[in-house]
Homo-oligomer: A and B are copies of this chain.
Amino acid sequence: MATYLIEYPQRVGCMAKLRDLKEACVLEALAIVASDGVEKLSLREVARRLGVSHQAPYRHFASRDHLLAEIVSRAFRSFADVLTEATRDDDPQIALAEMGIAYLDYARREPLAYRLMFGTLLPDVQTHPAMMAEARHAFDLLLNALAKRKKARAMPTDVFARGSDEDLAMMRDAIFIWSTLHGFASIQASSAVETLGLPANLMDNMFEELLTRIRGGFEAT
């Protein structure tokens, strides 16, 4: 019987209790993912930790995927917040670098959260539009930073460039940057260095070097 009320005693009525258990499930799920990884996440374990029957969460999440979509959404939001906070400088070029560092740093600090977002099969997008919106928001941070940079460097001739082509080119720029950041981050988050028997410190202190190379590749087109 509702042990979670002890941990979340603020409830005053039915609706509040509802939000409490739903919220408690989300928090407990996030805790499981953060400590043991998404593979260990199960509705029954969440229910068990909350001292509630194994079916109680089903009143608030139609399936495991619905709970997963919720915590993935939150992970994207928190990730986007970190990127936003890190991007401070007025110089768009420097702001981009700040974002890149923040990206890599997040993946290193929170490998399980990073794997949750980018390393597992996500629930179907069509049935979880909120999750997609959060993910897109994070991606838009990169697109916006690129747009600012482009604006600051705009040549008069750019006026003639057609909008959609321009957008597509910028998205391609974003894909390149994201590819390099994501590749590095996921290699680091996986145990690839260990798996391959490479020097343990191989990927340490490579952030700046990686950004330099991204810059080089960025101007190579």
Measured CB to CB, the residues of A under 8 A from B are 37, 39, 118-119, 121-122, 125, 132, 135-136, 139, 168, 171-172, 175-176, 178-184, 186-187, 190-191, 194-199, 202-203, 206, 209-210, 212-221
A171 and chain B: residue at smallest CB distance? B202
Assess whether B132 is in contact with A195, with CB atoms less than 8 Å apart: yes
A176 and chain B: residue at smallest CB distance? B213
CA distance A186 to B221 in the complex (A): 23
Nearest 9 A-B pairs (CB), nearest first?
A216-B220, A183-B183, A217-B217, A213-B217, A179-B183, A179-B184, A182-B183, A216-B217, A180-B180
Q: 8 A-B contacts, Cβ less than 8 Å apart? A: A122-B195, A171-B199, A176-B210, A178-B183, A179-B179, A180-B217, A183-B183, A216-B220
Assess whether B121 is in contact with A197, with CB atoms less than 8 Å apart: no
Chain B residues lying within 8 Å of A187, measured Cβ to Cβ, are 175, 178-179, 182
Dominant SS among interface residues on chain A: helix
State how many angstroms separate the Cβ of A204 from the closest Cβ of chain B: 10
A132 and chain B: residue at smallest CB distance? B195
State how many angstroms separate the Cβ of A116 from the closest Cβ of chain B: 12
State how many angstroms separate the Cβ of A38 from the closest Cβ of chain B: 10
Cβ-defined partner of A199 (8 Å) among B168, B190, B196, B213: B168
Chain B residues lying within 8 Å of A186, measured Cβ to Cβ, are 118, 182-183, 186
CA distance A155 to B136 in the complex (A): 47
Chain B residues lying within 8 Å of A216, measured Cβ to Cβ, are 216-221
Assess whether A194 is in contact with B39, with CB atoms less than 8 Å apart: no
Assess whether A175 is in contact with B197, with CB atoms less than 8 Å apart: no
A125 and chain B: residue at smallest CB distance? B195
Cβ-defined partner of A119 (8 Å) among B119, B139, B220: B119
